[in-house]
Every structure is written in structure tokens, then in C-alpha cells.
Structure 1
Amino acid sequence: MQSRVENENRLKTWIVAHIARRIDEQNLSQTNAAALMGLKQPDLSALLNGKFNGFSAERLARCLSAIGGNVRLTVDESAGKQDIFVLEGH
């Protein structure tokens, strides 16, 4: 079983991969993408290079949303029910 830290790092890695893909798909420069996300370009560069200490998964999800990604959080409840929250991209 993976530790909480390992799971959090996997989630952060997954979100950052989607950020990188969205930047690429939109042909954004790091400077423009960082501005949209409310970051400085060196911080975005560090994120894209796997250095996301100091960034929560929630903050990364907001960054993805800021460049057009829809982020969905789904909680599977008993009896097959789901509760879904969507953070829609801009």
C-alpha cells in the first residue's frame, strides 16, 4: 500500500502532466501560461521539471483550470452513488 505522500506526489505528477499537455496544445509560452495561472515563469518551469514542493494538489488543479482544463473530483459513495465537483476551466 502506498503512503499518503506517495499518493499525493502521484496526483501532483498527473496534474502537472495535464498542465504541460494543455500548454503544448495551446502553443503557450511559459511566460504566458504562468501569467494565466498567476505564477512566475521560473515557478512554472520548476513545476514542469517535477519540482512541485510547496504546491498543493488543489493549487495545481486551479492552475490547470486557469488554462482551460476542467478538473473533476468524484467521490464514490455507498450503493453506487457518486458525488461530483467540477472546477471548470476558463
Structure 2
Amino acid sequence: MTEDIEIEVGSGNVFADLELENAPELKLKAAILGQINSILDHRHLSQKQSAELLGLTQPKVSALKNGRLHGFSLEKLLEIMVRLDRDVEIGFKKSRSKHAGRYFVRDGKKRVPVAA
């Protein structure tokens, strides 16, 4: 017996698909959080060591490591990137998109759109 499975194609933003009102900001924060976790993993730091480096409590580091964005402002995530020896550049330019402007996160030379 076979069941028909209905597949719905996502928009590329799971937060928008869940109809969250601040979906673009959440996707941007998630992209930054991914970068933070990648750096911490690469450095092989314990949560306690990460907490000391980032000026956070160990439970806050645990929340970051588990992808929980609640309680972290965009400003705080950018501050964490600076504590991880990363330059944060914020720039603006006229959008080439026919629709709305977009957010991008750059990792080295790679520029990735994260929200519309």
C-alpha cells in the first residue's frame, strides 16, 4: 500500500514559512549564529571557555550552541563576532532586486543572501 505524500516547497526562509512576523531578522540572526558556532567549533573551546571569551554565562553559550535565538539581539550577536576577532562591516546600497532590499552575510569573499 502506497500513500501519497504532499510536498510543499519552502520559501527559503523557514521563519517566513512558519509565518513569524520578524522572519527576515530571524533568518539573519540564524546566519550569524551559524558563523559564531562554526568559529567556536573550529577553536575546540569548551562552553566554559567560550563563555569567558564571549562575556556570557555558560547557559547562554549552551543556548547559542543549540541554535536558540531567543534572548540574543542582532547587536549582541554582532558584538560576539567582534569578540571572536571578526570585523563587522555594515553597508548599504541600492538594491538591484525588482522586489525589496535584502540582507547579506559575507564570510570572507563569499556573499550569501539571508533574507528578503
Q: Structure 1: which 4+ aligned runs deviate by more than 2 Å?
A: 1-4
Sequence identity of aligned pairs in percent? 35
More helix by share: 1
Q: For residues 5-62 of structure 1, give each alpha carbon's deviation from its aligned partner in whole angstroms, at most 9, with x where no partner exists.
A: 1011101111111111111122222211111111001111112212121211111110
1:35 aligns with 2:52: yes
Superposed CA RMSD in Å reads 2.0
TM-score normalised over the length of structure 1: 0.74
Q: Which residue of 1 aligns with 2:69?
A: 52
Q: Which residue of 2 aligns with 1:82?
A: none
CA 1:58–1:4: 2 relative to 1, 3 Å: farther
Unaligned runs of 5+ in 2: 1-10, 96-116
TM-score normalised over the length of structure 2: 0.59
Structure label with greater radius of gyration: 2
